[in-house]
Structure 1
Amino acid sequence: MSMRGSAWSERPCHPPQPGWSHEARLVTALGAALRLRRLVDTDAAFALLRAEHAPIIVALLSRHLGGQTRRMPAEEFVDLLDADLDALRSHFALPQTGVAYAAAWRSAGWLVRRPAPAARAETVELSSEALRAIRIFEQIEQPRATATESRLMTIRDQVQRLAVETDPDGTRRREALERERAVIDAQIQAIGEGRFEPLDAARAKERVAEILRLAEDVPSDFQRVRARFDQLNHELMASLLDSDESQRSVVEEIFRGVDLIEQTDEGLTFSAFSALVLDTERSEAFEDDIASLLDRDLSHAMTTAERRFLRTFLHTLKLGSHEIHGVLAEFARGLRRYVQSQDFQRDRALQRSIRAALAAAQRAAEHVKPFHASGIELPLTSVELSSLGALAFHDPSEFAVDVHVVAHQPGLADLEQLRALARDTEIDFAELSGVVNDRLRGTAAVTVAALLDEWSATQGVASVVGLMTLAARHGRVSADETESVTWSGADGARRSARVRTHSFTERIPT
């Protein structure tokens, strides 16, 4: 049992041929216009582009969810939104609150709310349509070169590789590979004789810009893949209800290991991509190449954000791949539970009853007017009151305040007390940044565990959490290695925990 998306596909708008008649040209133009108008009316990305406060919405969404942070708790996002709205209201008319705007953006399809995996809360992230709209704004604001040398070389290499790998003639394919080997041998001989020059700075900078342009699109693809998997899951549920097969045959097909979602085009593509990302040998070689680029003079041509993006690029891909694998596993488990439960049989029976009722109504519509009294009474779905005792009367005296309100005069706040209160309620990131920068003056890298061995956490576990947060933002988090961190609590007792290795490799900007 396979399933494919039911969304209409966009066909290319081919220009009419010179020999076409006026009627053919009109049909072609009309079809293209109607198809594109439907796209404009239904696509959420176009809705964001023509929104009343489109620049403000794009600026806020890209600021909080379009950079390194792609997902955050809903409450934290609303708090940040309220703070930004307070600053913007002096220049723009923004009467609503952050909660209202977030709800409106979610209804418009620009925000996606999901349950947090480890807490009773929700997270928000950008939808694939919002990411497309933000990218359009970025491309218009900062247009990029349309035909760079690196881009032409990429096209040439891909065309050459495709021509070789699809050639059915083994002789021509062998000749092409031998020519490629001769070029490589000549380069090796030149290196051995010292007749080679590294790539000049201008061309290297151009290729770095092209690499960053391609890499920036990859994390956004995860959101589109996940959205497509969500759609496939709902469509698969509907196809199970429409299937004429018995419950037993559906269960047997699922338990034979046939993952219906992974057999779709999106599932097969993502499985191949994930296998490439999770390959240990290729991942280590990729990280070594990035480290080599960042250690050379070429890194000075990149901003701090671009260097951080490259350094954490593979880690971001692994996290996204792991998350979507978890989504696929949850979909498969949900399908199995649904098919095995009584809900599957109940929903199928309900669907058959609804279809039978619709068919009967269609036949009756030829003989009975819509406004004809049927004589059938349908009870309300709400709960009816059984007695007068269920009513509760409003007593104003219960809400009357009979105690005199005492007015207190505000006193003079003490600066030291306010500082102590701030340290008890917030993490002192300024202090932690200074400790990390002082330690990096004498070494190239330092881990959180090494810092805590030499420096006493003044805020207890809050200092440990702050150091790990700074390392996640400005340093490196190992995917395999772990370390033991120790600190003293407020009661003076020594405590320890084993965490992933967090390390700092560069100074934290202050």
Structure 2
Amino acid sequence: MEIDEIETLRRNSAAWRLLRADHAPLILYFLGKAFTEQNLRSIAASELAGQLDDELAAVNEQAGEIVFPRPAKAYLEDWARPEAGWLRKFYPPGSDEPHFDATPAVEKAVTWVRSLPSRSFVGTESRLNIVFDLLRQLAFGTETDPDARLEELYRRRAEIDAEIGRVLAGDIPIMDTAAQRDRYQQLTATARGLLADFREVEANFRTLDRDLREKVALWQGTKGALLDDVLGSRNAITDSDQGRSFHAFYDFLLSAQRQTELADLLKQVHELPAIDDHDPRMRRIHHDWLDAGERTQATVRLLSEQLRKFLDDHVWLENRRVMDVLRSIEAQALRLRDRPADAFVMDIDAAAPTIALALERPLYRPGNRAVLDSSVPGEDEVEVDVSALFEQVYVDPGRLRAAVTRALQHETHVELPDVIAQQPLEQGLAELVTYLTLTDPTFDTILDENQRQQVSWVNPGGGSRRRARLPRVIFTRAAGQVNAA
């Protein structure tokens, strides 16, 4: 850490302030005994004040003078002030009495103070084994080479087979007293650290809940924008490394098989003769984990409840706004009902709004520049045959529409081959293409791309017979047209 970071912690860290407080020994002892030792997350103010009164009386009696002259309630209020940050004062749902809870800063300070006394036995073997196990998990848990993974699995299986062989031969290695104490010491430290981590995770979720309440109270935008922001923050914490790790750990604890196995192992370990100074909390540490996890989940549920309450209140306000507008319209109508009808004149720009979307505008297309040759041809120029200009084919759409209309006089729909059978094509392919582009208010044209039809005709002026395959074309009588039959 840099010097600036340490200086920032010295000024702003609640745990550091607790260690520098004038009555730090009393605060650490009392809050550690009341909250961390019993894994309590909520104590009523009257109950906590009663416990602190007993402690203050004992301290004053032992000192022979009034060291703490103020009432216990005043000390609790001081410890809960934002300037201190050692207690959290809140009102649980359905209760009008304030409750107190220790902050993660108290947990950190108590844990650090407990680590200061020298220990008669300091185990290192178990921690070294943990380091090796973690390194193996990292190295082989991220290995993508199948051969390397199989080699490691075969090695572990060989070790297990060798140990099974030694046990079958009567060679059963027993862990000595030092190793047992070493591992139990590491067990208690890790188990207590998990409880401290739960308190910090809960504090992080509670911070999100407080920010949400503040945002809802001051929000001036739309509901959709607020929901996007809130759900984004909620997913950010849930999908974070801390959130995924917490949910994986909590799901692991919820397994009935794991709980039974954990309880049996704890019972078996505490019956070992070598563990003479066992921690009394370790016998039910898995229950403390479940309780701490449930409290953290309850904090997460507050987010959903707060969001639902906001939506309900917002809908109620919108409904009230609508009713106010309706009442104002009714009142205005009552005031104007005696006025003559010709006194009300209203001008509107159009009967319907004109919608012009930006994407409907055509893109710019540069035109083809025609090159004009204005030179006058000389007398010796070769004459050009222009008769081809007068041989263009023109198909009269009116004649084709009339043919379709005649075919629909006795039918509600007719297909293109039927129309051509009644009036054969006279102008070949050009006439056939014109049929596909016909539009008329008396009938509709339907193209069925899934089915194909074949149409044949004889080339104009005599010649070979031609055939064309095209989608199925159906002419249907338009709505409102009466059958002539």
TM-score of the alignment, normalized to the shorter chain, above 0.5: yes
**In the aligned structure 1, how far is the partner of 2:310 from the partner of 2:227?**
10
The offset of 1:223, in angstroms, is 1.4
Residues 110 and 129, structure 1, Cα contact 8 Å, conserved in 2? yes
Q: Which residue of structure 1 aligns with residue 29 of structure 2?
A: 59
Equivalent position amino acid for 1:218 in 2: L
**In the aligned structure 2, how far is the partner of 1:266 from the partner of 1:174?**
32
The 5 A counterparts of 1:222-241 are 222-236=198-212
The offset of 1:72, in angstroms, is 2.4
Q: Which residue of structure 2 aligns with residue 100 of structure 1?
A: 74
Q: Deviation per CA, 1:113-135: give whole Å up to 9, x if none.
A: 23345644333221100111111
Q: Which residue of structure 1 aligns with residue 310 of structure 2?
A: 338
Q: Which residue of structure 2 aligns with residue 82 of structure 1?
A: 53
**In the aligned structure 1, how far is the partner of 2:158 from the partner of 2:175?**
21
**In the aligned structure 2, how far is the partner of 1:56 from the partner of 1:228?**
27
Residues 107 and 196, structure 2, Cα contact 8 Å, conserved in 1? yes
**In the aligned structure 1, how far is the partner of 2:39 from the partner of 2:137?**
37
Secondary structure of 1:112's counterpart equals strand
Q: Which residue of structure 1 aligns with residue 112 of structure 2?
A: 136
Q: Deviation per CA, 1:40-76: give whole Å up to 9, x if none.
A: 1111001011111111221222222231252422211
**In the aligned structure 2, how far is the partner of 1:119 from the partner of 1:232?**
23
The 5 A counterparts of 1:82-481 are 82-90=53-61, 91=63, 93-107=67-81, 108-116=84-92, 119-142=95-118, 148-236=124-212, 246-248=222-224, 250-251=226-227, 261-299=237-275, 301-303=276-278, 306=279, 308-342=280-314
Q: Deviation per CA, 1:198-257: give whole Å up to 9, x if none.
A: 21122111111111111111112221111111112233456678999841465589899x
TM-score by length of 2: 0.58
CA shift in 2, pair 1:173/1:310, >3 Å = same
CA shift in 2, pair 1:177/1:243, >3 Å = farther
The offset of 1:302, in angstroms, is 2.7
Q: Which residue of structure 1 aligns with residue 4 of structure 2?
A: 34
- When Rg is computed on C-alpha atoms for both structures, the one with the higher figure is 2
Equivalent position amino acid for 1:272 in 2: A
CA shift in 2, pair 1:146/1:204, >3 Å = closer
CA shift in 2, pair 1:116/1:175, >3 Å = same
Residues 45 and 133, structure 1, Cα contact 8 Å, conserved in 2? yes
CA shift in 2, pair 1:116/1:244, >3 Å = closer
**In the aligned structure 2, how far is the partner of 1:226 from the partner of 1:336?**
21
Structure 1 residue corresponding to 2:19, chosen from 45, 49, 53: 49
CA shift in 2, pair 1:146/1:36, >3 Å = farther
The offset of 1:142, in angstroms, is 4.2
Q: Deviation per CA, 1:383-426: give whole Å up to 9, x if none.
A: xxxxxxxxxxxxxxxxxxxxxxxxxxxxxxxxxxxxxxxxxxxx
CA shift in 2, pair 1:122/1:238, >3 Å = closer
Secondary structure of 1:140's counterpart equals coil
Residues 39 and 288, structure 2, Cα contact 8 Å, conserved in 1? no
TM-score by length of 1: 0.56
CA shift in 2, pair 1:230/1:243, >3 Å = same
**In the aligned structure 1, how far is the partner of 2:105 from the partner of 2:120?**
22
**In the aligned structure 2, how far is the partner of 1:99 from the partner of 1:113?**
12
Residues 251 and 339, structure 1, Cα contact 8 Å, conserved in 2? no
Q: Which residue of structure 2 aligns with residue 374 of structure 1?
A: none
**In the aligned structure 2, how far is the partner of 1:275 from the partner of 1:45?**
31
Q: Percent identity?
A: 24
**In the aligned structure 1, how far is the partner of 2:197 from the partner of 2:120?**
20
Residues 112 and 127, structure 1, Cα contact 8 Å, conserved in 2? yes
CA shift in 2, pair 1:278/1:106, >3 Å = same
Structure 1 residues without counterparts, runs of 5 or longer: 1-12, 14-31, 347-510
**In the aligned structure 2, how far is the partner of 1:314 from the partner of 1:295?**
17
The offset of 1:262, in angstroms, is 2.5
Equivalent position amino acid for 1:80 in 2: Q
**In the aligned structure 1, how far is the partner of 2:10 from the partner of 2:59?**
29
CA shift in 2, pair 1:233/1:64, >3 Å = closer
Compare 145-154 and 220-229 and name the one that shifted more. Answer: 145-154
**In the aligned structure 1, how far is the partner of 2:24 from the partner of 2:277?**
30
CA shift in 2, pair 1:88/1:336, >3 Å = same
Q: Which residue of structure 2 aligns with residue 385 of structure 1?
A: none
Q: Which has the higher contact order (CA 8 A, sep 6+)?
A: 1
The offset of 1:294, in angstroms, is 2.5
**In the aligned structure 1, how far is the partner of 2:7 from the partner of 2:231?**
44
CA shift in 2, pair 1:143/1:246, >3 Å = farther
Structure 2 residues without counterparts, runs of 5 or longer: 319-485
Secondary structure of 1:197's counterpart equals coil
Residues 209 and 302, structure 2, Cα contact 8 Å, conserved in 1? no
**In the aligned structure 2, how far is the partner of 1:111 from the partner of 1:244?**
33
**In the aligned structure 1, how far is the partner of 2:17 from the partner of 2:120?**
25
The offset of 1:341, in angstroms, is 2.5
**In the aligned structure 2, how far is the partner of 1:151 from the partner of 1:260?**
33
CA shift in 2, pair 1:69/1:248, >3 Å = closer
Equivalent position amino acid for 1:266 in 2: Q
CA shift in 2, pair 1:248/1:117, >3 Å = closer
**In the aligned structure 2, how far is the partner of 1:204 from the partner of 1:41?**
42
**In the aligned structure 1, how far is the partner of 2:240 from the partner of 2:141?**
25
The offset of 1:296, in angstroms, is 3.4
Equivalent position amino acid for 1:52 in 2: D
Equivalent position amino acid for 1:159 in 2: L
